[in-house]
Structure 1
Amino acid sequence: MRFYRYFGVAVVALAILLVGGVYAMPSQPTYVTVTNTIIQAPPTTSEDSVVKVEREDEGHGSGVHLGDGLIITAAHVTKGAGKVAIKSASGESGAATVLWANTDYDIALLRTDLKIAGASKLDCRTAVLGEQVQSSGNPSQLEFVSSFGRIAGGARELKPWKTVLITDVTMVMGQSGGPLFEADGRVIGINVGVMPITSKVGEDDKGNDIFATSITGYGTAVPSSAVCLLLAKESAQ
């Protein structure tokens, strides 16, 4: 009989625990907030190294100051000139001497006595597909602006250039010679061209197709690995 008495007490206690447990459950659902942390690349700290390269009555391009008055730009921006005008991001203007220009790679080196606040470092490597990049320069009538994107195609020979990277960055005439920055602010390429898109827009009165060409398109940039090789080669001569 004692066993049954203890057994009954245990059953009652279990029932109380179960009922208590039921009442302890919240009457409303519990929501848990999950926060996703998006890790973004640090902003580039080298924009003040960008310069505007000008030739009187012959348009303009861009360039990047590497320090000690040395500026990298595109060879076609200099157009065979011995001297060009430059403008810094702070608004000061001066002259620069063209030390050399390599038309196969479309890269030129300038030297100036103008004091330029910023200087960027070359990362002597070849960027790969998918890397985030920032292009800075002077597109069309704008000065010292940046556009952002990714490497859309690996390094390749693409006439008239010996080797270029393909980017999906918005690229406009005037940005040639400007830097292509990686996430930490180092230069991984020099912008040299735009691959515009041509599309049919109609026909003339003789039935001939009329085409229009966009002013923007995929960008091309000489990889910094090639720029570093050119600097080493030219300095050795």
Structure 2
Amino acid sequence: MLPVASATGARRPSALGRHARSALAAILIGASVAGSAVPVPAFAKGPESLADLAERITDAVVNISASTTVESRSTGGRTMPQLPPGTPFEDLFEEFFNRRGNRGGEQRGDNETPRQQRKSNSLGSGFIIDSAGIVVTNNHVIGDANDIQVILSDGTKLKAEIIGKDSKIDLAVLRVKPTADRPLKAVPFGDSEKMRPGDWVVAIGNPFGLGGSVSAGIVSARGRNIESGPYDNYIQTDAAINKGNSGGPLFNMDGEVIGINTAILSPTGGSVGIGFAVPSGTAKPVIDQLREFGEVRRGWLGVRIQNVDESTAEALGLKGGAKGALIAGVDDKGPARTAGLEVGDVITKFNGSAVKASSDLPRIVAATPVGKTVDVVVVRKGEEVTKPVTLGRLEDGEKPQLANVKQPEPESAVRQALGLNLSGMTDELRKRYSIKDTVKGVVVTRVDPSSTAADKRIQAGEVIVEVGQEAVSAPADVTKRVDALKKEGRKSVLLLVASAGGDVRFVALGLE
């Protein structure tokens, strides 16, 4: 497993692995078959020179210097880091530093703990999108800096102020005041959706503090999810991107910005040919909102979703196979509830855009204007249904509430089905497993360790709420529904399983 790092060096885990190059080497070298040489295929030739392009766009690329002043306490000639207020170890650290600092010298009075300031500096890249002084970079480049300078290609330094920033897409918009004798040059955005794997790109930035560095490569892939945030949709490129390139532009051959360099995959901290850029199609709407409002106003649907695998698709009777976003929870006060979306619906299209996987939906919804009414296409019990939904606004820290399902009175009989021991809900079981009063259904009291249910991590104390998208309240309901699905020729059954605390998920189990 190799680490993924921001282009300023902060590492994060990734599941991406190493790529063998022996097959490519064999192709390039050529081989001999039956005594005759196999012709080496002619690879697409890149541009003979990128000098004219680089000369045209380099002046719009800037270096970003961000400084954060951190307060520290000097004790006995040594500097003690400033601890969080109220920490129980503050007195202990202070006593330790005093003893070491005062060893062999005069004791310092209790009130003599002068505070010192130290600066934390970071370097990154950015680019000018408006000659009036609007600069774009990564949010992680500036962080919580209280002194930001934009350094132009000729070395001119301009003090910058923050217009707005967004940690979810990792973008920040700055403003500088251009001087009369040094007009600023801006570059336009291009259409990242038109970029294809194999297209040539150019990256310009400030790697390792070496400003104005130009590197070239191709688009390696699109739509990469490196699990850095909720809206991952990166362009992958093999153009050399290193520490300090963060926030810099990725250009197409027309000199248009089609990406913002943000992260690299590297075991060493240097470029190994796998870099990631935020597509312009994702970045531009966020930048526009930051310029207009100073914040991002994202659309909100009010659902909790999960992916659709092959077993789940079969259990739901999806004709198109494993695709879409399966609704596992609906916020009682959200737009989805008002529009009539239900737990068990599979969203396949949102506002005209196909939802191929659950990870697509949050990104599409977030990019849709607040208050806009859109058509949401769902598959419900095998039938396609279209629901108009008026989006709300996503607020940070929202915790969706799950839909409540009305249930008949429970029974106490115990039956076996699907490798599960089941029981109707009782006060004793609620107490034993700490099941919330709002959770209704059939309680799992034992799981056969050799069953598929155990493989799918169903556990005793969880509650089956639905079987095959029908509510159940007694073990007999479960077995009856399973028998009906078998008669219909289904190979799997979809269970809606609730935890003791009320969180639900869908689990598909085989019926063979």
Aligned 8 A contact 1:124 1:228 in 2: no
The SS at the match of 1:91 is: coil
The superposition leaves residues 141-165 of structure 1 with CA deviations (integer Å, 9 ceiling, x where unpaired) of 3111110000111123322142211
Partner residue of 1:221?
277
Equivalent-residue separation in structure 1 for 2:233 and 2:214 (angstroms)? 23
Paired AA for residue 153 in structure 2 = A
Provide the identity percentage: 26
Q: Does 1:99 align with 2:163?
A: yes
Partner residue of 2:222?
154
Q: Does 1:233 align with 2:285?
A: no
Higher mean Cα deviation, 81-90 or 186-195?
81-90
Aligned 8 A contact 2:163 2:290 in 1: no
1:22-101 superposed matches below 5 A: 40=47, 43-44=53-54, 45-56=56-67, 57-67=120-130, 68-81=132-145, 83-101=147-165
When the two structures are aligned, how many residues end up with a matched partner?
A: 185
Equivalent-residue separation in structure 1 for 2:209 and 2:173 (angstroms)? 24
Change (3 A) 1:97 1:133: same
The superposition leaves residues 173-230 of structure 1 with CA deviations (integer Å, 9 ceiling, x where unpaired) of 001000001101111011011110x3xxxxxxxxxxxxxx242231110001111111
Paired AA for residue 275 in structure 2 = G
Equivalent-residue separation in structure 2 for 1:189 and 1:214 (angstroms)? 21
Paired AA for residue 195 in structure 1 = L
The superposition leaves residues 114-148 of structure 1 with CA deviations (integer Å, 9 ceiling, x where unpaired) of 34532100114333211100000010031111100
Change (3 A) 1:234 1:128: same
State the Cα distance separating 1:82 from its structure 2 match. 5.1
Equivalent-residue separation in structure 1 for 2:127 and 2:198 (angstroms)? 23
Equivalent-residue separation in structure 2 for 1:216 and 1:180 (angstroms)? 15
Paired AA for residue 192 in structure 2 = R
Partner residue of 1:132?
200
Aligned 8 A contact 1:62 1:137 in 2: yes
Structure label with greater radius of gyration: 1
The SS at the match of 1:104 is: coil
Partner residue of 1:10?
none
Paired AA for residue 142 in structure 2 = T
Equivalent-residue separation in structure 2 for 1:49 and 1:124 (angstroms)? 19
Equivalent-residue separation in structure 1 for 2:63 and 2:154 (angstroms)? 11
Partner residue of 2:265?
195
The SS at the match of 2:216 is: strand
Q: Does 1:170 align with 2:240?
A: yes
Aligned 8 A contact 1:105 1:163 in 2: no
Unpaired segments ≥5 residues, structure 2:
1-44, 68-119, 294-512
The SS at the match of 2:262 is: strand
Q: Does 1:119 align with 2:186?
A: yes
The superposition leaves residues 6-50 of structure 1 with CA deviations (integer Å, 9 ceiling, x where unpaired) of xxxxxxxxxxxxxxxxxxxxxxxxxxxxxxxx7837624111001
Higher mean Cα deviation, 183-192 or 111-120?
111-120
**TM-score, length-normalised on structure 1?**
0.72
The SS at the match of 2:239 is: strand
Aligned 8 A contact 1:81 1:98 in 2: no
Aligned 8 A contact 1:135 1:181 in 2: yes
Equivalent-residue separation in structure 1 for 2:192 and 2:271 (angstroms)? 27
Aligned 8 A contact 2:205 2:248 in 1: yes
The SS at the match of 2:196 is: coil
Higher share in strand: 1
1:199-214 superposed matches below 5 A: 213-214=268-269
**TM-score, length-normalised on structure 2?**
0.34
Equivalent-residue separation in structure 2 for 1:82 and 1:110 (angstroms)? 13
Instruction: Work out which of the residue numbers 253, 277, 293 in structure 2 matches 1:183.
Output: 253
The CA RMSD over aligned residues, in Å, is: 1.9
Unpaired segments ≥5 residues, structure 1:
1-37, 199-212
Partner residue of 1:6?
none
Equivalent-residue separation in structure 2 for 1:87 and 1:129 (angstroms)? 33
Aligned 8 A contact 1:75 1:108 in 2: yes
Paired AA for residue 221 in structure 1 = A
State the Cα distance separating 1:75 from its structure 2 match. 0.7
Q: Does 1:143 align with 2:211?
A: yes
Aligned 8 A contact 1:60 1:174 in 2: yes
